Amino acid sequence: FTHAHIIHHHNLTFLSVCEGEVFSYRMLAVTFLVVLAITSVPFVSAICSKSLQDKLLLIWHGNPPEEIVETWMTGKLTTVYISPALVEAQPVLHTGDASQGLSCYQTVVSQDGVTTTDYWYYTNKTTLVGSYNIVMEVPSIVTVIEPEYSEMHLQVFFLRNGVYGLYECDTYTTEEGSYTPGVMIRVLNYDKNDKLQAAAIQSAKAVLDKLKLNDGVIVPTNCP
C-alpha cells in the first residue's frame, strides 16, 4: 500500500531499522462510510474513478480475486513499479523528491490483520514508516484508512505468480486534501532470480499499456 501520502505526513516516524512481520488476516466490520465520488478521467481528479474501477473489475470476467489480505499474510510485498504521483505524495524525506536515495519499498500486514505498514528504505540507512487500518475487503478491492483521513482503495487488476497490479485512489476528499490516483506493481515474497515473477511483472506492465495507465517507474529492490 502506498498510503503515506502528503496529508498524512505528521503521523509518520523515522526509524533506523524496521523488521518485517508475519502476515495474518481478519475480515473487519465496516466502521467507516465509503463514499465514492464518480469521475471519468483517471490521474486528473484525486478521487477514485468509478468508471475506471468498473473497467478494471471487468478484467476478471466475473471472478475477481478474494481473500487478498489473507494471501498477503504469507510474506512481504515488495513494490517494483509505481506511478510517480504516488511517490511524490510521500512526505519530503529528501529535498525535492521522496524517491531520491530510495533503495526499497515494502509493505507488511500486522499479525492480527488489523493494520498494514509501509516501509520506505533509503540508502542513508533511514526508514520512513506509515501505518494504516484495514477497514474491509470486497472482491478485488482492499480498503484502508488512517484515522481522521480519507479511505483508500487498493484495487487488484492483475494477479499471477504472486505479482499484483494495483490501482490506488482516495474514496473522498477531506479538509486536509487528497492525492492523485496511481498504479503500482507489487510482488509477494519477491525474488529477483524468479523467472516466473519476472515474466508476470512484464505481463502486468502490458496490461497497464493496454489500459493506457502505464505512467510508472521502476523501484529499486535492494531490501534489507
Q: Give the pLDDT band of residue 6 (cuts 50, 70, 90).
A: very low
Long-range contacts of 24-27 (CB under 8 A, 24+ apart): 24/73, 24/109, 24/110, 24/111, 24/112, 24/113, 25/67, 25/69, 25/70, 25/72, 25/73, 25/109, 25/113, 26/112, 26/113, 26/114, 26/134, 27/136, 27/137
Give CA–CA dist 195/203, Å, rounded. Answer: 12
Taking only the tens place, the pLDDT of each residue in 74-109 is: 899 999 999 988 877 665 444 456 677 889 999 998
- Tell me how crowded residue 30 is: count the other CB atoms within 10 A of its CB: 10
pLDDT class of 167 with cuts at 50, 70, 90: very high
**pLDDT value of position 97:** 64
Question: Domains of the chain, with CATH numbers?
Answer: 6-218 (2.40.128.20)
9-55 pLDDT per residue, tens: 333 333 333 333 333 333 333 322 222 222 233 333 458 889 999 99
Considering only residues 183 and 26, tell me which one the structure prediction assigns the higher pLDDT. Answer: 183
Q: What is the mean pLDDT of residues 144-157?
A: 82
pTM (two decimals): 0.76
What per-residue confidence (pLDDT) applies to 67? 92
